[in-house]
Each structure stands twice: as structure tokens, then as C-alpha cells.
């Protein structure tokens, strides 16, 4: 059984009116995000901080690209994770295996072996997150019947787990990185992932079979051919990576991944739309998903720079003293999660209250784009003010407030609409496609962040303005997109 029946879904209200399985996934995701955001909060600082101060002394422009492309690779690997869940393991087992790999990655980062530990750790985390991230969201969707009105609210509750972990972890890893050393911060991230795995195993019985088996399993006669093809693809990607490194060093590898982040979703949409397993009534919904995907990619292009460009701005241009005490720069990364925790219940209540009067999904996406664009336009003014010295942290607080409101209009809603627009045969893989929007956005950002060090103010204004324009265009196109969605909201 891949999902509960409608009657079971309606009767199960053991977790604040939601299915009991949501509590298992809530705390598992909380600990996984604790490890992810805790590591990410100090990764850039570790790369560009001088060796004498405990860092690696990597060139700042290159360090910004590495942080961005790491995010690209993490979400791009979700394609493989979604495929393995759909065809081999199912969502539940894929989630667990992913958590194990993530824990191994943080352990590698915690070892004092320099840049080798960084690359080894990031590779483990990339593959682990690819298995866990798309599939745990699919398991959440499987707890509800398609017509269950609690679905959007359930995803918003689930989204709060991400941000509780995201709020606490930078405070802990940042303090450890400043007080003990960067490797201590990475070590506590490994402990967080271990806690998530324990929580998942203890509460798995409450998932009621949601995504327990592969919905489109490989036929025994297919396995040899498919596994051989997978091996060839892995060898080809590895060879391409080596060639890119030989021709262009680390920057060559970054460029290769950026290009792949654009090619992959284009290929994926084409294959899914043309597949015989995608039913005729499902094809218009695939088309409707394309403009939502583009909008999400633009949103994440800006939003995901919090751990790269915004972290560098905070490190270089923001006064981080309170009553004479200097707090860790990594703590700025906790602003967005605490705002999500405060505002997510408000948005969840708002969508439930408005019901049929709520903005359509395309309009929510359009509003999110406008808001995230305005957050970077605000940083244009902050950057100009920084020319006269370090600026008040209130600039970042206001920027994160605007950005967070945009995130709540797009991210939980996007997770929900993805599970509803997904063709049945591509359930987990379509969720992977949602995360490819993050991958595409950060892939482009990995090339753009190099221009930040040249002119920060121009950088902020250009990207912010582009997002606002795209948001307006999406709002205009909303009626056409809704028609293609064929009643799905």
C-alpha cells in the first residue's frame, strides 16, 4: 500500500488534527535539517576564513561558487533518489538510507583532513540528501487522500520542522565553530542526523504504509539492463567530472554541474510528458508545472544565496556586536527559520480560512517572486550604506522578513501542488523535479555569485529587479496556468 485510503486518512487525527505519521516525519525532518543547516551555516566561513584562524583560506569568489554549487548538486541528486524510490526501494527505505549517508558526510567534514574532508563529506551529503529529501515529502503526501483539505496545512506543519532545525543548528554550530573550531561544528551536525535516524526507526509504524513500496517497480527482466545503464551513466558522469577538472580545475567542475542543472530538468520534463505511463489527462498538468518550475528556480536562485552572498555580506559589512559582545556571524542564518516558525501558523491559518477565496497557486508563486525580488532590492540600499562602514544588522532582519513571507507563499504550497500535479507513475520522481528547481536556481547562481565581489550593489539590484518582473509576468499568465492544472489547487 503506497497511501492510506480516504477513510483512514480522514479518521487519523492523532497529531494535532493530522495523521500520527506526520509526527514521525516532522521530527525526522527536524533533525535532518538540523544537520544540514548547521553545516551549511559554517561551510562558507570555513572555506574563506584564513588558515591561521582555523579555516582553509580559499579565494572568496571561488568559495561562494563552491557553496552555491553544493546546493545545486544536493538537489540535483534528488532525481536519482526519486527514481530509486519509485522503481526499487520505495519512499520509506530511501529516506532511511539517505540519512545514513548524510551522517557519514558530516563525520567526514568533522575530521581535520583539510579540503579532502570537505570534498568527501559533501559527496556523501549530496547523495544522501538526494535519497532523503524528495522521498520524505512524498511520504508526507501519502498520509493524506488527494481530496483531504488538511493536505496544504499538513505540509505547512511539516515545513515548520525544517525551520525549527534550521533555527537551532546555526546557533549551536556557529558557537562551536567560534569557540572550539569548525570541526566541532561539523561533528554536532553528524550527531543531529543520528538523532533523526533513531526517531525515524522508532516511529515508522505510524506511517501506515505510505510510500512503503515502489509504485512502479522494475520487472525482474529489466533489472540487468537498467543497472548496467546506471553504471554506464555513473562512469560517464565521473569521466566528465575528471575532464572538467583537468581543463578548468575546480571552477571547471562547477561549470559542468551548473550546465547539468539546466539540462536535467529540461530532459526530465520531456521524458515525463512523452512517457506512455503519463495518462492523457495528466499531460496538461505536466505543462502547467513548467512555469511554476521556472518561477521556483528564480525564487531559489535568490533565496539560497543566504548561505553564500548574504553570509559574506554579514561577515564583511554588518556590525555583529551587541552591548560590546561579538556574536558568531553564522547566527544570522537563524533569522529566516525563526521567522518561519512565527509566521508559518499564520499562513496555514490564512489558507484554511480563505479556502476557495485564497489566491490560486500561480498567484501565490507570483507574489513570492515579487517579495524575494524586493528583498534583494533592499540589499542594494544596504550595500550602498555599507560603503561608509559596517551597517546595522536590522538591514538583514528586514531582508529576511520580506524573503520569508515570499518563502511561505511558495515553498510549502509548491510541495503540496507537486504531489497533486504528479503523474501517478512518477510520484517520487516529480517531487525530485520540484527540488531540481532549487538545483537549477543555485546552478545559475554558482556562476552569478562571481560578479558579487565586483559590485555588490549592482548585483543585488539586477537580480532583485529581474525577480519582480518575472513575478508580474507570472501573475498575468495565472488564468492560463490554472486551466492547464485542470482543477488541481
* DSSP, residue by residue, 207-252: GTTTT-S-SSPPPHHHHHHHHHHHHHHHHHHHHHHHHHHHHHHHHH
Q: List pLDDT tens digits, range 28-39.
A: 888 888 888 889
| pLDDT at residue 18, rounded to an integer | 78
The gap between the terminal CA atoms of the chain, to the nearest Å, is 25
| pLDDT at residue 238, rounded to an integer | 84
| pLDDT at residue 394, rounded to an integer | 94
Mean pLDDT over 87-98 rounds to 87
Residues 97 and 133 sit within 8 Å (Cβ to Cβ) = no
Rounded distance between C-alpha atoms, residue 94 and residue 172, angstroms: 28
Q: List pLDDT tens digits, range 352-370.
A: 788 777 788 889 999 999 9
Q: List pLDDT tens digits, range 401-460.
A: 999 999 999 987 887 788 788 787 777 667 777 878 999 999 999 999 989 988 899 999
Rounded distance between C-alpha atoms, residue 86 and residue 433, angstroms: 13
pLDDT bracket for residue 299 (50, 70, 90): very high
Cα–Cα separations (whole angstroms), residue 60 to 44, 57, 185, 303, 308: 9, 8, 21, 20, 10
Rounded distance between C-alpha atoms, residue 161 and residue 199, angstroms: 13
| pTM exceeding the 0.85 threshold for the entire prediction | no
pLDDT at 16 over 70: no
Query: In the chain, pLDDT over 90 holds for what percent of residues?
Result: 36
pLDDT at 9 over 80: no
Amino acid at each position: 500500500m503506497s497511501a492510506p485510503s480516504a477513510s483512514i486518512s480522514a479518521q487519523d487525527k492523532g497529531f494535532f488534527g493530522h495523521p500520527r505519521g506526520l509526527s514521525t516525519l516532522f521530527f525526522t525532518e527536524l533533525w535532518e535539517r538540523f544537520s544540514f543547516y548547521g553545516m551549511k551555516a559554517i561551510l562558507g566561513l570555513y572555506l574563506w576564513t584564513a588558515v591561521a584562524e582555523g579555516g582553509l583560506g580559499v579565494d572568496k569568489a571561488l568559495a561562494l561558487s563552491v557553496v552555491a554549487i553544493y546546493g545545486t548538486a544536493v538537489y540535483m541528486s534528488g532525481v536519482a533518489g526519486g527514481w530509486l524510490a519509485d522503481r526499487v526501494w520505495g519512499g520509506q527505505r530511501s529516506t532511511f538510507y539517505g540519512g545514513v549517508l548524510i551522517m557519514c558526510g558530516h563525520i567526514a567534514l568533522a575530521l581535520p583532513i583539510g579540503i579532502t574532508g570537505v570534498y568527501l563529506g559533501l559527496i556523501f551529503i549530496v547523495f544522501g540528501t538526494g535519497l532523503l529529501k524528495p522521498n520524505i515529502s512524498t511520504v508526507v503526501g501519502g498520509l493524506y487522500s488527494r481530496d483531504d483539505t488538511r493536505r496544504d496545512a499538513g505540509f505547512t506543519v511539516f515545513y515548520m520542522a525544517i525551520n525549527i532545525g534550521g533555527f537551532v543548528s546555526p546557533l549551536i554550530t556557529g558557537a562551536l565553530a567560534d569557540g572550539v573550531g569548525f570541526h566541532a561544528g561539523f561533528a554536532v551536525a553528524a550527531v543531529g542526523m543520528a538523532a533523526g535516524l533513531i526517531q525515524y526507526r522508532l516511529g515508522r509504524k505510524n506511517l501506515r504504509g505510505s510510500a512503503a513500496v515502489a509504485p512502479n517497480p522494475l520487472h525482474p527482466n529489466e533489472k540487468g539492463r537498467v543497472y548496467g545503464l546506471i553504471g554506464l551513466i555513473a562512469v560517464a558522469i565521473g569521466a566528465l567530472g575528471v575532464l572538467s577538472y583537468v581543463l578548468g580545475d575546480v571552477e571547471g567542475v562547477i561549470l559542468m554541474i551548473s550546465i547539468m542543472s539546466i539540462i536535467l530538468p529540461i530532459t526530465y520534463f520531456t521524458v515525463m510528458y512523452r512517457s506512455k505511463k503519463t495518462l492523457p489527462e495528466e499531460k496538461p498538468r505536466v505543462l502547467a508545472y513548467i512555469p511554476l518550475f521556472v518561477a521556483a528556480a528564480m525564487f531559489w536562485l535568490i533565496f539560497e544565496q543566504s548561505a553564500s552572498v548574504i553570509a559574506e555580506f554579514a561577515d564583511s559589512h554588518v556590525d555583529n556586536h551587541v552591548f560590546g559582545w561579538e556574536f558568531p556571524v553564522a547566527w544570522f542564518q537563524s533569522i529566516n527559520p525563526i521567522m518561519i516558525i512565527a509566521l508559518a501558523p499564520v499562513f496555514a491559518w490564512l489558507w484554511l480560512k480563505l479556502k476557495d477565496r485564497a489566491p490560486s497557486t500561480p498567484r501565490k508563486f507570483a507574489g513570492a517572486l515579487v517579495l524575494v525580488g524586493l528583498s534583494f532590492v533592499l540589499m542594494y540600499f544596504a550595500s550602498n550604506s555599507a560603503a561608509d562602514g559596517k551597517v546595522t544588522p536590522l538591514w538583514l532582519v528586514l531582508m529576511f522578513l520580506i524573503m520569508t513571507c515570499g518563502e511561505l507563499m511558495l515553498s510549502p504550497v509548491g510541495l503540496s501542488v507537486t504531489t497533486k500535479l504528479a503523474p501517478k507513475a512518477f510520484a517520487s520522481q516529480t517531487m525530485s523535479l520540484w527540488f531540481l528547481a532549487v538545483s537549477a536556481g543555485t546552478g545559475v547562481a554558482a556562476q552569478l555569485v562571481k560578479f558579487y565581489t565586483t559590485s555588490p550593489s549592482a548585483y543585488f539590484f539586477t537580480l532583485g529587479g529581474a525577480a519582480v518582473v518575472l513575478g508580474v509576468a507570472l501573475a498575468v499568465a495565472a488564468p492560463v496556468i490554472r486551466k492547464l492544472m485542470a482543477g488541481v489547487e
